[in-house]
Structure 1
Amino acid sequence: MWPYVFDILSFIVSTAIMFAYRTWLMNRVRQRPTSTVMGTNSLARTAWVERIMQEGRDILAIQTLRNSTMAATLMASTAVLLIMGILNMLANADKIGPTLHVLNSWGSREPGMWIFKLLVLIVNFFIAFFSYSLAVRGYNHVGYLINVPPNAPERHGVTPEIVAHHLNRASDYNSLGMRTYYFSVPLVLWLFGPQWMLASTFILIAVLYRLDHQPAMD
């Protein structure tokens, strides 16, 4: 019974830590945006949209959005390939499982728990796929909205503020997809044992904090 408890507790603790950090980061972005990379990028995207629409630089806008769309499409496709690979591991669980349990000194070695871990990993990459798909959808919408002249007599409610909102929301989906890729590291190490999952979660949080923050600018 205890090995199951260690595995489930490690998953709950790791998920709670990642969720708590994400919530804290979002509050930080709203309160002090210039102290975070996400907040700074959001402000930069808003200023970029205003400049593009005022100066009518359509080609630059389309090229930039195309790059973002291609990157999100690549990550969504990669998520699908990873899901297919994990499904293949499920089909060969009886052969692969014993090999991965060499370093598993605390967790359960039952096939059922190992299959459960793979299913959680599949769900994680499904979230990544849908996040990147929504990001592609948002970038495509912005491609049309950003080319509406701001001084046109009939704009149908299209303003730089609205366009920037759609662009930032697409970027938020892109960021969420990338976070699920980051969280896949503890989930993969979970296959080797709960202790590795917990250790990698704390290391991941330290790395993300380093990447997400910058000296605040006035």
Structure 2
Amino acid sequence: MIDIHSPQFWPYFFDLSVFFFCVLILFGYREWMLRRIRRQPTATVQGINNLARVSWVERIMEENRDVLAVQTLRNSTMAATLMASTAVLLIMGILNMLANADKIGPILHVLNNWGSREPGMWIFKLLMLIVDFFVAFFAFSLAVRGYNHVGYLINVPNTPERHGVTPDRVAQHLNRAVAYNSLGMRTYYFAVPLVLWLFGPLWMLGSTFVLLGVLYHLDHLPQQD
């Protein structure tokens, strides 16, 4: 337990403060984006894509283009499966780093002028990376599950009075699967500040602001800015 009057306390406190601040602003950005998607869907890439997927499902089910639907969903399933498998491999690699923390930690602390160099903080950083990739794994797994459900639903005959499967409901399932896939990608993006956090809190803070700029650029259509 670190004493508050100890000179080691303030680097420890600064590390944790930067971490929670970065998590807070990224979470706030995501909540702001979700509200913007609901209120102005045509002003964001996600909103446009959601509307486009609704139209795509309607076309597929009305024209019975089963082959196109299966090929498209297969590509999405393969991509999500690859990302989920990669997350597991990264988790195993981080666990290996935990086993060699006493050797790797001092090397990374060369650039850490403001943060804590305590072994406990180093282990906490690696654990946050593991949690991040676990979230990515489950998000991509749920995306694969959603794509598989859509693969069955989208090929159901267009007689909703018999089974209740309508294009709108199928599009809702598809957009939910894509939302899980997007969440998985966001956790991958957040892994960049977490990795740089190993070198010090200032690296994490700077990379988080860069990530915010990149996300804003990716989420908004240029002609709408």
TM-score by length of 1: 0.97
Q: Deviations over 1:189-208 (max 9, x none)?
A: 00000000000000100111
The CA deviation string for residues 95-127 of structure 1, in whole angstroms up to 9 with x for no partner, is: 000000000000000111000000010000000
Cα pair distance change 1:74/1:103, threshold 3 Å:
same
Residue of structure 2 equivalent to 1:161: 168
Is 1:201 matched up with 2:225? no
Instruction: Give the drift of 1:149.
Output: 1.7
Provide Cα deviations, 1:68-121, integer angstroms capped at 9, x if missing partner.
Answer: 000000000000000000000000000000000000000000111000000010
Distance 2:160 2:23 in 1: 49
Give 5+ residue unaligned stretches, structure 2: 1-8
* Partner in structure 2 of residue 189 of structure 1: 196
Q: What residue number does 1:90 align with?
A: 98
User: SS at 1:176's partner residue?
Assistant: helix
Whole-angstrom CA distance in 2 between matches of 1:102 and 1:40: 46
Corresponding residue number in structure 2 for 1:99: 107
- Structure 1: 4+ residue segments shifted above 6 A: none
The answer to whether structure 1 residue 145 and structure 2 residue 153 are counterparts is yes
Residue 3 (structure 2) aligns with: none
Read off the aligned partner of 2:184 and give its amino acid letter: G
For 1:22 and 1:139, the matched residues in 2 are separated by 23
Deviates most, 208-217 or 83-92? 208-217
Q: Is this contact kept in 1: 2:98–2:126, CA < 8 A?
A: yes
Question: Residues 54 and 149 of structure 1 are in contact (CA less than 8 Å); yes or no, is this contact kept in structure 2?
Answer: no
Instruction: Provide, for residues 50-70 of structure 1, a one-character-per-residue CA deviation record: whole Å limited to 9, x for no partner.
Output: 000000000000000000000
Residue type of the partner of 1:198?
A: L
Q: Is the 8 A contact 1:72 1:132 kept in 2?
A: yes
**Which gives a bigger RCO, structure 1 or 2 (Cα 8 Å, sep 6+)?**
1
Per-residue deviation, 1:152: 6.5
Asked whether 1:123 is paired with 2:128, we answer no
Q: Give the Å deviation of 1:153.
A: 5.9
Please name the residue that 2:181 is paired with. 174
CA–CA distance in 2 between the matches of 1:177 and 1:185?
A: 14
* Equivalent residue, structure 2, for 1:114: 122
User: Is this contact kept in 2: 1:42–1:168, CA < 8 A?
Assistant: yes
Q: What is the CA–CA distance in structure 1 between the aligned matches of 2:150 and 2:224, rounded to whole Å? A: 29
Confirm or deny: 8 A CA contact 2:146 2:173 kept in the other structure. yes
Give yes or no for the alignment of 1:71 onto 2:67: no
Structure 1 letter corresponding to 2:173: H
Paired letter, 1:203:
V
When the two structures are aligned, how many residues end up with a matched partner?
216
Q: Which runs of 5+ in 1 are unaligned?
A: none
Distance 2:20 2:161 in 1: 55
| Cα distance in 2, alignment partners of residues 207 and 123 from structure 1 | 23
Select the residue among 17, 20, 23 that pairs with 2:25. Answer: 17
RMSD: 1.1
- Asked if structure 1 preserves the Cα contact closer than 8 Å seen for 2:12 and 2:116, the reply is yes
Cα deviations by residue, 1:113-171 (Å, 9 ceiling, x for unpaired): 000000010000000000000000000000000001213762x1100000000000000
